[in-house]
Structure 1
Amino acid sequence: MSAVEQFNVQDFLDTRPFGAFHWKILLLGLSVLILDGFDVVAMGFIAPAIIKDWHVSHAALGPVLSMGLFGLAIGAMTGGPLADRFGRRKVVIGAVCFFGLMSLLSAWSPNLAVLSAMRFLTGLGLGASQPNMATLASEYAPRKYRSTIVTVIYCGFTFGAAGGGFLSTYLIGRHGWQSILLIGGVVPILFSFVLMFAMPESAKFLAVKHGGRQALMRVLNQIEPFVADASTAFVTTERSHTGQAAIRLIARNPHTTVTLALWVGMFMNLMIVYFLNSWLPIMLSGEHFSLTEAALVAAMMQVGGTLGNIAIGWKMDRIKAQKVMVGTLLGAGVFTVILAKMSFTLAGLTAMVFLLGYCTNSSTTGWTAMAASYYPTEMRATGTSWMTGIGRFGAISGAYAGAILLNLKWDFGQLFMFLTIPIGIAIVAAYISGHRNDTMMPMLRNAPSQ
């Protein structure tokens, strides 16, 4: 390659065929999310054993569960700016090792106060690892596969949560509830060493920050051998606002409207999901279904969400993301109203909850794909992570809203009709974010600069 030939990093990454390098990134990202899913839901599986072992009430365990959610929110909002400043790789590896260490130490908690603090610290690492791993994967994904890769990676969260359930069933009775926290600590710590050797820094990040030329050259040659050498002049079509904080960039024009729409959309979506995740079994038991039947129906919501995660990414890579999100959320609204107004047998209810989970869980992942596709490299981790962090407060709100409404003796139909409010707001947010994205995208490009 001649000394005067310019190499556009962004265009190169966007147009590569999906190859072995991309499979590696996909599997690493999937593994990180599996570990995240296992640790996030661990407390839900071990809570009954803790109540029995420590002789505490259900209410006393509430702070332990809520502190984990607060940690997830703060971790996401902190991890994004750090990743945009220091790199995605460092933050992901550090976060995985950190939440593993905190989970490991949680196993020796002597009381609920210490366990609450440890779950908050665990949540910090979990919150930082999820969106930044998705950001790194999206930056290596060819343009036509980008949304699919992000949503497939997020399927790892469901796999990890399911694995936690199976392991809990086997281990708690034999080795105590601490064994789940031990596994949730040791495995991530070991995997962080795998990430050190196997996971590269984002090439787009290296190009925009104009640093790490040797690292950039090595990773590009992994994707396509001998494509770059010492004489290659790397350029990118994305501008770099040197010295400006990424948080300030996502909040100012031309990003303000899209940023607010993404925040509102994710907040409402996670409010819906955590409302259902937290209270659906109790809502069903009030409809004269047994606990076993209620658990089966609730599980089908997760199955539907897993399939929906894959499907929504595939659709967003082929159809305008705004249309996919609005259509998916409209489907959630329709199924919610049907569940509120009609009576079902167990089989019919299971099918309807499966479809509702397909729409609500997949649209949650869809917001991440939209954010990763919208924000430029220099602020992508911050934009995606802050959206996720704001959304976590929606998750907390959903759990508390369910408790309040059930305490007010709202019936099954009224509870589902309540969900149409956040669904409607999310639909408006999806429309605004997509419309504004189309309007402002030409402004987000600048001439290539060396």
Structure 2
Amino acid sequence: MKAKSINPNNVIDNSKFHSYHFWLVFWMFLVIMFDGYDVVIYGASVPSLIKEWGITDVMAGAIGSYTVIGTALGAIMFGMAADKFGRKNIILLTTILFSFFTFLSGLANDPVTFTVFRVIAGIGLGGVMPNVIALTTEFAPKRIRSAVVSFVFCGYSIGAIIAALTSRSLLPTVGWEPVYLMAGFPLLLLPFMWRSIPESIGFLIEKGKEEKAKQILSKIDSTLNMNAAIHVEKQQIKVPGSPVIKLFEEKRALSTLMFWVSCFSAFVLIYSMNTWLPRLMMQSGYDLSSSLTFTAVMQVGAIAGTLIFGRLVDKWGFKKVLVPLFFCGAIALSLIGFTKSTMLAFIYISVIGASSVGVQNMSNAFVSQYYPFKMRSTAIGSTMAFGRLGGIVAPIFVGVLLSMNLMPQFNFAAIATAAVLGGIAMLCVQEKHGDYQKGRKAEHDENLKMAK
């Protein structure tokens, strides 16, 4: 009797969350946590760098922007390279890049050397994120996929909180260098990551390593018949043509553009806050220690927003959650410059965290599910590459605003326009043309057929 074929998607989609998923999520969470730490320590250390090296606000913003140029390059290069070399290999390589060169940044003696190291680290930071999203999406059970991906990206906020609290402790006493040197810690974990992180099932099948793919699938479902052949769905078969062009086919053009604009807006918010929040709050009358506390509070808001609204996304759909969050962020940014209450400022900052980092975490899950499997890395990589243009613009833009000595209210209101743009863009995404919606429709039609 012929053995029943194995459908990798069905095995993963219908699986229960158990220890194999736990360890994958653990390592992906950890990688993104270090990513968040490496990104946020620059904003935390900007006041110290300005004081030590005598650089201007505009120059400090430029260094932040150059770093984001590196992340944009990394998102493009490594998003596409994963299809050739495997997501696991790229995740490990990019982790080495951002950890080692952030560590070296702590040894820099001048702004030029520091900037070079930060740009190279940025290439790694940009490359790791789309591949972590894609690998997590591929292995997460379908019923909790959005929540799992959103949870993994809470690691970014945990890393940012650690960066803020570490900076608050170390900057006044031992200076900014140790804050960067601590970023080398992930290098010690690489052997464990190599052993624990699985390679993409789709990549293994494409490379003819079906036995290896079945071994991984058997850890997800121990009842699999290892003698059965793997059935590859049509969407997993490689098609000719530019991978980016494919994102604009099958009525996805408008949504692809809107994802890019939305991501651009989210990154303007994220990098404006990551780079300049301590400085902006100091301009509003707070000291450095209190300003770094605001950075931590923003990330707490990002985590709470991601976890709470991530669950609502599974229930209500992405747009019904993400669009209002963007607009709430615009309102909070517009109000924070007018309040003199620290408690109200904490509330506004936490809302900003939920509507910037939190929104981007959930948007990543949206993009990763919107496109077919074969386009996932390219879709996420290109979206985040375009989004990082916002990250390039934001540090210099806010640096120029600060150099103009405007009232704090005007600076925050100017940043708020990005949240409005993001909400409008997300509103224009056409969910009906997404791959996950097609899957839901097919499942619904099948259920109706069975009911009849």
Taking structure 1 as the reference length, what is the TM-score of the superposition?
A: 0.87
Letter of the 2:320 counterpart: K
Structure 1 residues 37-436: aligned runs within 5 Å? 37-47=36-46, 55-59=53-57, 61-168=60-167, 177-185=176-184, 187-207=185-205, 209=206, 211-236=208-233, 238-339=235-336, 343-435=339-431
Contact 1:254/1:440, CA 8 A, preserved across alignment: no
Contact 2:88/2:200, CA 8 A, preserved across alignment: yes
Count of aligned positions: 441
Distance in 2 separating the partners of 1:433 and 1:375 = 13
Measured after TM superposition, the shift of residue 83 of structure 1 is 1.1
Measured after TM superposition, the shift of residue 122 of structure 1 is 1.0
- Look up the SS of the partner of 1:227 in the other structure: coil
Measured after TM superposition, the shift of residue 366 of structure 1 is 1.6
Distance in 1 separating the partners of 2:114 and 2:378 = 29
Measured after TM superposition, the shift of residue 200 of structure 1 is 0.7
Contact 2:44/2:292, CA 8 A, preserved across alignment: no
| CA distance 1:444–1:127, shift in 2 (3 Å) | farther
Distance in 1 separating the partners of 2:305 and 2:106 = 34
- Look up the SS of the partner of 1:433 in the other structure: coil
Measured after TM superposition, the shift of residue 213 of structure 1 is 0.4
Contact 1:217/1:228, CA 8 A, preserved across alignment: no
Distance in 2 separating the partners of 1:218 and 1:329 = 43
Contact 2:25/2:152, CA 8 A, preserved across alignment: yes
Is there any run of 5+ residues in structure 1 with no aligned partner, and where? none
Letter of the 1:366 counterpart: M
Measured after TM superposition, the shift of residue 179 of structure 1 is 3.5
| CA distance 1:153–1:258, shift in 2 (3 Å) | same
Contact 1:68/1:120, CA 8 A, preserved across alignment: yes
- Look up the SS of the partner of 1:191 in the other structure: helix
Letter of the 2:395 counterpart: A
| CA distance 1:302–1:378, shift in 2 (3 Å) | same
Identity percentage over the alignment? Answer: 23
Distance in 2 separating the partners of 1:293 and 1:233 = 57
Distance in 2 separating the partners of 1:46 and 1:4 = 61
Contact 2:166/2:179, CA 8 A, preserved across alignment: yes
Letter of the 1:307 counterpart: A
Measured after TM superposition, the shift of residue 347 of structure 1 is 2.0
| CA distance 1:356–1:181, shift in 2 (3 Å) | closer
| CA distance 1:114–1:408, shift in 2 (3 Å) | closer
- Look up the SS of the partner of 1:398 in the other structure: helix
Distance in 2 separating the partners of 1:289 and 1:107 = 27
| CA distance 1:251–1:85, shift in 2 (3 Å) | farther
Distance in 2 separating the partners of 1:211 and 1:129 = 25
| CA distance 1:269–1:148, shift in 2 (3 Å) | same
| CA distance 1:21–1:443, shift in 2 (3 Å) | closer
Letter of the 1:113 counterpart: V
Measured after TM superposition, the shift of residue 211 of structure 1 is 2.5
Letter of the 1:200 counterpart: P
Distance in 2 separating the partners of 1:174 and 1:427 = 42
Taking structure 2 as the reference length, what is the TM-score of the superposition?
A: 0.87
Measured after TM superposition, the shift of residue 388 of structure 1 is 1.4
Name the structure 2 match of 1:6. 5
Distance in 2 separating the partners of 1:194 and 1:405 = 45
Distance in 2 separating the partners of 1:343 and 1:107 = 36
| RMSD of aligned Cα (Å) | 2.9
Contact 1:28/1:199, CA 8 A, preserved across alignment: yes
Measured after TM superposition, the shift of residue 47 of structure 1 is 4.7
Contact 1:206/1:213, CA 8 A, preserved across alignment: yes
Spell out, residue by residue over 1:294-315, the C-alpha distance to the aligned partner (whole angstroms, 9 max, x if none): 4444432222112112122211
Measured after TM superposition, the shift of residue 22 of structure 1 is 1.0
